[in-house]
């Protein structure tokens, strides 16, 4: 358990969710969406961090095409309009699809380049995500732009309570968020390697239901449990494991809201990649689709995570 004063870097922290069920007055899904829109309208400059990250992502995506690494660029709706995806943090290359064959047999130098590439992207998304989450949390805490009665009353501008975070996250929190984002990238890469090395795939006579159930009952619950982890690190000042536990607690208390937000943010990021689908040049389409998805989808993702964490921690 942490208190507002036990943060490891001395900045104010949030609180653990209580074990009691959410009351009717807590901010729900609609409330969070309204808060997100209100925050973005009040501070459009929040788009800047992920716009810059979008430039990085677009450049990286085009570089992927030109590189000898075998990757796909897939724009919405190439995988169908009901393509479900989950994103623990906004993807800087939402159009990139890779297969397990990418990592099998890579020469050490090229594996190092690939890992370095991922580290660079992780750093970019960390800075953008932390910046927007922090700024959005500060705005939500300071202003009365929130239309939800419970949110405004609970989270309102009471700096004396120590709930208003400073604008710039501390290097320690930034570092932990970076470690968390990097950890996810490493787990995904390792997963790709394991799938390829051990030939894990649909067995004989597979109907495809196995992967679907696996996605529904393994991927979605895990991703839901981790959904608010970045906010718990950046706003709450937790270390990744503590933050993940706290995030899981919120997911247990509000499973439907968390799953809906998880799928909505993932889907939004995917849909926005198709804005320039079918353009005159595939590379321009990839660059613009990536930029749009990251700039808009990433910003909304970060704000909604910040709003959910601030509101729900205030509810507790």
Partner 1 sequence: MKNSVENVSRRAVLAGAGSLLVAGCLGAERTPGTSDLDWRMYGRDPGRTRFVPNASLPRDGVDIAWERSVSASGWYPPVVANETVYCQYSNGLFVLDAATGEGTRASTYGPFGRDILPMAFASTELYRDGVLVVPYDTVIGGYAAGRDGWPDSVSGIGQERARWWLDGDSTSTSRLPPRASAGEWLGSPLVVDGTLVSLHPRSATLSASDSDDGSNRWRFDLETVAADGYVASPVGHVVDTTTGTAVVKLRTRREEAAVVVPLLVGISSENGSLEWQTTTDEVSSGDTNPGVEPADSLTTRDGTVYTIDWNTSTRALRLCELDAATGELGWTKSLDRTEHIGVAVDEARLYHVGLIDREEVPETFRIVALDRDSGSRRWAVTIDDAPLDPRLPYGAPPTVADEHLLVPGKRGLHALDRGTGEILWTFTEMVPTSGGGSVERSGMTPAVVTDDRIVIGTTLALYGLE
Query: Site residues (CB under 8 A) for partner 1?
Result: 63, 65-72, 74, 78, 97-102, 104-107, 109-110, 113, 195-204, 206
Q: Which is nearer to partner 1, 105 or 162 (CB)?
A: 105
Report which DSSP code applies to 100: G
Q: Which is nearer to partner 1, 167 or 197 (CB)?
A: 197
Is 307 in contact with 32 (CB distance < 8 Å)? yes
Helix (H) or strand (E) holding 245: helix 240-253
Q: Which is nearer to partner 1, 67 or 185 (CB)?
A: 67
Q: How far is the CB of 287 from partner 1 (least distance, A)?
A: 13
Nearest-CA neighbor of 306 among 146, 181, 93? Answer: 146
Q: How far apart are the first and last CA of the chain?
A: 13
Q: How far is the CB of 202 from partner 1 (least distance, A)?
A: 5
Q: Which is nearer to partner 1, 21 or 108 (CB)?
A: 108
Spatial distance between the Cα atoms of 292 and 168, rounded to a whole number of angstroms: 25
Place of tokens 């890469």: 189
Q: How far is the CB of 238 from partner 1 (least distance, A)?
A: 35
Q: How far is the CB of 201 from partner 1 (least distance, A)?
A: 5
The pair of structure tokens assigned to 303 is: 């704000």
Q: How far is the CB of 182 from partner 1 (least distance, A)?
A: 21
Nearest-CA neighbor of 134 among 237, 214, 226, 227? Answer: 237
Nearest-CA neighbor of 111 among 179, 57, 178, 192? Answer: 192
Contacts of 119 (CB under 8 A, 6+ apart): 182, 185
Length of the chain in terms of residues written: 316
Spatial distance between the Cα atoms of 316 and 73, rounded to a whole number of angstroms: 43
CB 186: neighbour CB atoms within 10 A?
14
Q: How far is the CB of 266 from partner 1 (least distance, A)?
A: 17
Spatial distance between the Cα atoms of 94 and 71, rounded to a whole number of angstroms: 12
Q: How far is the CB of 111 from partner 1 (least distance, A)?
A: 9
Is 126 in contact with 118 (CB distance < 8 Å)? no
């Amino acid at each position: 358990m942490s208190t507002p004063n036990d943060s490891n870097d001395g900045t104010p922290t949030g609180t653990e969710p209580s074990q009691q069920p959410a009351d009717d007055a807590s901010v729900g899904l609609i409330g969070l969406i309204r808060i997100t829109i209100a925050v973005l309208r009040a501070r459009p400059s929040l788009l800047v961090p992920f716009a810059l990250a979008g430039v990085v992502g677009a450049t990286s995506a085009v570089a992927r095409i030109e590189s000898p690494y075998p990757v796909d660029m897939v724009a919405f709706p190439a995988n169908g309009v009901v393509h479900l995806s989950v994103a623990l943090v906004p993807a800087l290359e939402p159009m990139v699809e890779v297969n397990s064959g990418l990592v099998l047999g890579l020469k050490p130098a090229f594996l190092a380049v690939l890992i370095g590439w991922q580290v660079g992207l992780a750093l970019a998304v960390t800075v953008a995500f932390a910046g927007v989450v922090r700024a959005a949390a500060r705005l939500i805490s300071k202003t009365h732009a929130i239309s939800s009665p419970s949110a405004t009353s609970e989270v309102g501008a009471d700096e004396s309570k120590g709930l208003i975070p400073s604008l710039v996250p501390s290097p320690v929190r930034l570092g932990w968020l970076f470690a968390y984002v990097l950890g996810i990238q490493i787990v995904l890469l390792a997963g790709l390697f394991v799938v390829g090395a051990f030939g894990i795939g649909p067995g004989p006579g597979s109907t495809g239901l196995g992967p679907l159930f696996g996605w529904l009952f393994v991927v979605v619950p895990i991703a839901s449990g981790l959904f608010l982890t970045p906010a718990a690190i950046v706003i709450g000042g937790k270390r990744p494991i503590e933050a993940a536990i706290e995030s899981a607690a919120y997911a247990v208390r509000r499973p439907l809201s968390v799953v809906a937000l998880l799928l909505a943010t993932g889907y939004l990021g995917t849909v926005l990649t198709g804005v320039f689908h079918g353009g005159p040049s595939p590379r321009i389409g990839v660059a613009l689709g990536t930029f749009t998805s990251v700039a808009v989808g990433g910003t909304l993702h970060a704000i909604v995570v910040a709003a959910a964490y601030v509101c729900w921690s205030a509810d507790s």
